[in-house]
Amino acid sequence: MQSSIVYLDYNATTPVDDRVLKKMLPYFNSQYANPSSPHLFGMEILEKTEYAQQDLAHLIGCKPSELIYTSGATEAINLALKGIENENRRHIICASTEHMAVLDCCGFMEKNGYTVTYLPVTKDGIIDLHLLKDSLRVDTVLVCIMLVNNETGVIQDIESIANIVHQASALLLCDATQALGKIPIDINTLGIDLMPLSAHKFYGPKGIGALYVNTTVARLKPLLHGGQQQGGIRSGTLNVPGIIALGEAATIAQKEMIIETEQIRTLRDDLESALLKIENVFVNGYSAKRIHNTSNVCFPGVNAQQLILSLGNIAVSSGSACSAITNKPSHVLKAMGLQDHHSLSSIRFSLGRFTTAEEISYTTETVKKLVNKLRQ
């Protein structure tokens, strides 16, 4: 165990499942045709991408035609926010705990004439529905609230949020990047209008994602112009291996989600139970509804970056991988009311499909020893 990597950073990225890799490999060399080509070879590849699109659509309960492929969730978020321009509605509401991809896009929209309201959250990271309702205006075009927070695992009541948003005739953008493949998602039940997602968060490859668009209410302007692929909304030659992989990852998740959830939850609970025995340790968002694979744990008196480096072969993080290198207090934890010294003492443990009980046991024992040492 000491010589191998103990990977507990699944919210940053996941390994590609061998079954996904096997499915996508032929599309790099033997089945390489461009799906936009008019010949038989190209049409055969197009048919395979359409099957994969159906598999992904089945996972979230939408029509295949409502999916736009992108390079990942960040591009999907940019397309949703920047493509939804509305001259009559120039107000956006955004949760203060959103991923930086959403927050940075909202900042861009502010510079381009939009007004953005940043909603605070409770100490458990939950949106106050009354405050959301009071924040809506006649010119609100879009509300951005993620389904599962990438740093704490807190799950928002999206169905109730959608009802409030739609009463104001606004659209709901719900980043489901950390939820897809882990918990059931039905976009019709939840009432989501725009939903970004990414393959590498649920055992697919990096570089492929998608945006679900409720085409009955949302009209997007393209960010990329070119060959008119995907109805002209996102031009460019389709990433065939990525699309095949995304479809296969969705199929596996559909089949194995229930059993996998229970296995991972048991390991996560064992991890938390052991770590909470350390003096003064607490879990951020502990009393909120959280996804089964994530624990954000505060170790008062310990610098998180120092602890992460001391852990050596145990891979964890202090928050979002996109902002980990800044070594600044997490904007998510600050929004939840944590003081900077507690935020800088917090570590995210995120488990996944290949996590073992042996790894959890080894991790908890190692963390206990290091916390006591660093506190001294």
Closest CA relative to residue 50, chosen from 192, 252, 253, 238: 238
What type of residue is 39?
Answer: H
**Taking the CB of residue 376, how many other CB atoms lie within 10 A of it?**
6
pTM for the whole thing?
0.95
Task: Tell me whether residue 1 is in a domain.
Answer: no
Give yes or no: residues 210 and 264 share one domain. Answer: no
Give yes or no: residues 333 and 202 share one domain. Answer: no
Q: How many domains does the chain have?
A: 2
Answer with the one of 251, 280, 304 that is the final residue of a domain: 251
Give yes or no: residues 274 and 239 share one domain. Answer: no
Give yes or no: residues 203 and 347 share one domain. Answer: no
Closest CA relative to residue 349, chosen from 246, 289, 270: 270
- CATH at 182: 3.40.640.10
Give yes or no: residues 146 and 237 share one domain. Answer: yes
Could you please report the per-residue DSSP string of 299-352? -TTS-HHHHHHHTTTEE-BSS-TTTGGG----HHHHHTT--HHHHTTEEEEE--
pLDDT, tens digit, for every residue of 113-123? 999 999 999 99
Terminal Cα distance for the chain, rounded = 26
Give yes or no: residues 182 and 312 share one domain. Answer: no
Give yes or no: residues 283 and 371 share one domain. Answer: yes
What are the residues facing 315 on neighbouring strands?
A: 7
Give yes or no: residues 264 and 181 share one domain. Answer: no
Task: Tell me whether residue 281 is in a domain.
Answer: yes
Catalytic-labelled residue, pool 94, 106, 144, 322: 322
Answer with the one of 212, 234, 251 that is the final residue of a domain: 251
Phi-psi group of 191: left, alpha or beta (phi > 0 → left; psi -120 to 50 → alpha; rest → beta): left
Give yes or no: residues 242 and 310 share one domain. Answer: no
Enclosing domain of residue 308: 6-15+256-375
pLDDT, tens digit, for every residue of 123-156? 999 999 999 999 999 999 999 999 999 999 999 9
Task: Tell me whether residue 287 is in a domain.
Answer: yes
For residue 327, is pLDDT > 90?
no
Answer with the one of 251, 268, 287 that is the final residue of a domain: 251
pLDDT, tens digit, for every residue of 28-63? 999 999 999 999 999 999 999 999 999 999 999 999
Tell me how far apart the alpha carbons of residues 57 and 63 are, in angstroms, rounded to a whole number.
Answer: 6
Give yes or no: residues 260 and 121 share one domain. Answer: no
| Mean pLDDT computed over 280-291 | 95
Task: Tell me whether residue 215 is in a domain.
Answer: yes
Catalytic residue flag (residue 94)? no
